Amino acid sequence: MNIKNFAMIGISHKILSMQEREEFIRQKPKVLLEELFQTGKIRAYVDLSTCLRVEFYMELLDNTRLEEIRERFPAQRGLQMKQGEEALLHLAKVVCGFFSVIKGEDQILSQMKHAYTKALEEKHSSKLFNIIFQKIITLGKKFRTKSNIAHHALSLEAITLHSIQERIPNVQEKKFSYWESESWPSLFSLF
């Protein structure tokens, strides 16, 4: 087990627009990773695909270079690569929500758990991955607990609801239809 063999390759909302991320997904990068796994170029991989990012964490074999994997990806623009400690630090920041639109949000932790569980079910894991992802998930939980981020409503939905409740007295008693043209101006004036 060598931490230098731990790597990440992927895209995110920080560099590419939603349309560009959708185009990347249409090129089926997971098929490429599965092919690399089946042909023995990588020992393990986790596919973390969300609306904001598509990142593949992988354990390279000693004779596989990350650059050679990058060259196999059809889309090169916006493709990020990290290896070793840099990839591990990136993963830690992702799981703690540092790169999320709402810093510290907890949805990414759930998505990370799901991605890792799926890798286990599909037998795409390894000893190194089991150690890394179990520790990373624990880190994400501890960060939220110790930083008290978990005790505040930080989801986009919660922030939006709070903002609406501040601006419209007794909003829970009001009824309106989004489709009524008169409602749109008042709805948009909230923001």
Query: What tens digit of pLDDT does each residue of 178-188 get?
Result: 555 555 455 45
Same domain as 101, residue 29: yes
Same domain as 127, residue 60: yes
Identify each DSSP E strand in 25-141 by its residue range: 42-49, 53-60, 80-83
pLDDT at 103: 63
pLDDT tens, position by position, 138-164: 998 888 888 776 555 555 566 666 667
Which residues, in sequence order, are CB contacts of 167 under 8 Å at separation 6+?
190
Q: Are 94 and 56 in contact (CB under 8 A)?
A: no
Count of domains in the chain? 2
| Residue range of the domain that includes 123 | 3-151
- The residue ranges of the chain whose pLDDT is under 70 are 1, 75, 101-105, 149-163, 171-191
CATH code for the domain of 80 = 3.30.460.30
pLDDT at 145: 80
**pTM (predicted TM-score):** 0.76
CA 87 to CA 83: how far, in whole Å? 5
Same domain as 111, residue 61: yes
Active-site positions read 51
Question: How many helices and strands in the chain, by DSSP H and E?
Answer: 8, 4
Of the candidates 103, 67, 75, 84, the residue with the CA atom closest to the CA atom of residue 11: 75
